[in-house]
Chain A
Amino acid sequence: MVAVYAGHALPQRGVGIALPPEPGPAYSAPGIMTATTAPTLQLPADWRDFFALTKPRVMSLVIFTGLCGLLAAPGPVDPILGFTAILCIALGAGGAAALNQWWETDLDAKMKRTANRPLPSGRMDRKAARDFGIALSAASVLILGVAVGWLAAAILAISIIYYAVIYTIWLKPRTPQNIVIGGGAGAFPPMIGWIAATGEITLMPVLLFAIIFFWTPPHFWALALFVETDYAAAGIPMMPVVAGHHSTRRQILVYAVLLLPLSLAPFWFAGAGPVYGGAALLLSGLFLLLALRVAVFRGGAADMDMRPEKRLFAYSVLYLFVLFAALVADRWIMGSV
């Protein structure tokens, strides 16, 4: 018979070998096809796989913007309750990411960028991922509600449902506007951080929400332009796949234009000081220039290599980090907000 042993510490996964011809079970990780009809034994998922399920890199941006919302808010924040709020935002984001991967296992398997994730690679059982996502999400909302406040907990619950259900299940497979509307899911953390500190929704957290909301489409579409084949293979209707490059580039520019005045709105209308105002003008101006470079496709060597798109994508991540850091710096240096 052919037995397949697959697991984390084993150098190669899913490679079958011929064992001595005694009858016996096949050994494999979940989802690995074996060339036998014998029952299979599966290695359990490692804790690192559960950690990977939370999308730690995405979570770092979520934690950062949530922390900035908390630190930029007026008034003192108890450090333990502040830490709890950020922890709950991180747990909620991790839970939503796990649910996203549970739902999209088949799609992830079709894309080079995501094929090695714990579920599509067969290292983890889907049910375990679903239960893990639900447990993390529920725990984050309950702890935030009990420790910090139920308004912040309600917004966190909405953001988890928004990402796991509205974006992942409903919008993403159906419309090229998926990122536009779904961008709201990633825009909640600074709002939750602010509400955790102040207990109320004012103009500033709404503006912070709006900045991330309008930042998301150019950020994701820049990525979608240079990994378009991946999305097309998975049948996801991302903008470049459905509307074409020309339309996507034009829309990236439109959002970059809108982002400039919007990023300055906290300075004009919500009490942010000159440190933030100067940083927003500089950062959004550069964002606009890079988006303009993406919009004007000249067909040269750099354009064919998608260098402007890659540059805009990398800059967009830096943009959000620095813009929100400037907001906190403004509050702590100038005492504004």
Chain B
Amino acid sequence: MMTTPDEFETQRRKIIQGRNRMLGLVLAGFAVLFFAISIAKMSH
């Protein structure tokens, strides 16, 4: 595959950005889940 170091760097940044976004979503999901679990446990 022909490419240059600049393209490689662009590709690397794109992958890391995608990973960061996904990690952010997962962490936000866990925050919501823990809040919901706390409410559910308190109501029992």
- Interface contact A78-B40, CB-CB below 8 Å: yes
Looking at A4, A45, A81, which has the most chain B CB atoms within 10 Å of its CB? Answer: A81
B2 touches A80 (CB 8 A): no
A6 vs B12: C-alpha distance when bound (angstroms): 10
Grouping DSSP codes into helix (H, G, I), strand (E, B) and loop, the B interface class, with mixed when no group exceeds half, is: helix
Secondary structure dominating the interface of A = loop
A12 to chain B, nearest CB (A): 5
Note all chain B residues with C-beta closer than 8 A to A4.
1
Minimum CB distance partner of A10 in chain B: B1
Residues in B with CB closer than 8 Å to A8 are 11, 15
The count of chain A contact residues (Cβ–Cβ below 8 Å) is 29
- Report A-chain residues with C-beta under 8 Å of the C-beta of B41: 81, 147
- Are A7's CB and B11's CB within 8 A? yes
Closest to B18 in A: A47
A90 to chain B, nearest CB (A): 13
A contact residues around B7 at 8 Å (CB): 5
Most buried by A among B3, B4, B16, B22: B3
**Selected contact of A24 from candidates B3, B5, B19, CB within 8 Å:** B5
B1 & A5 in contact (Cβ 8 Å cutoff): yes
Q: Which of A1-38 contact B (CB under 8 A)?
A: 4-15, 17, 19, 24, 27
Kindly list chain B residues whose C-beta atoms are within 8 Å of the C-beta of A24.
Answer: 5
Instruction: Name the residue of chain B whose CB is nearest to the CB of A47.
Output: B22
| Given A43-B15, A44-B19: A10 touches B3 (CB 8 Å cut-off) | yes
From residue A32, how far is it (CB to closest CB) to chain B in Å? 11
Which among A6, A27, A44, A81 is the interface contact of B37 at CB below 8 angstroms?
A81
Interface centre among A4, A8, A41, A80 (most CB of B within 10 A): A80
- A175 close to B (CB within 8 Å): no
A147 CA to B39 CA, complexed, in Å: 11
In the complex, A24 Cα to B44 Cα: how many Å?
64
A121 within 8 A of partner (CB):
no
Contact A9-B11, Cβ < 8 Å, known A47-B19, A80-B36, A80-B39: yes
List chain A residues, Cβ under 8 A from B11: 7-10, 43
| B19 and A147 contact, CB distance less than 8 A | no
Chain B residues positioned under 8 Å from A47 (CB to CB) = 18-19, 22-23
Q: Which residues of B contact A80 (CB under 8 A)?
A: 36-37, 39-40
> Which one of A5, A44, A78, A81 contacts B15 once the chains associate, using CB atoms below 8 Å?
A44
Docked CA distance A41–B15 (Å): 14
| A interface with B by C-beta (< 8 Å) | 4-15, 17, 19, 24, 27, 41, 43-47, 78, 80-81, 84, 87, 146-147
Further pairs besides A7-B15, A17-B1, A46-B19: 15, Cβ < 8 Å: A6-B1, A7-B8, A8-B15, A9-B11, A10-B3, A10-B11, A11-B1, A14-B1, A44-B15, A46-B18, A78-B40, A80-B37, A80-B40, A81-B37, A87-B33
Which B residues form the contact surface with A (CB < 8 A)? Answer: 1-5, 7-8, 11-12, 14-16, 18-19, 22-23, 33, 36-37, 39-41, 44
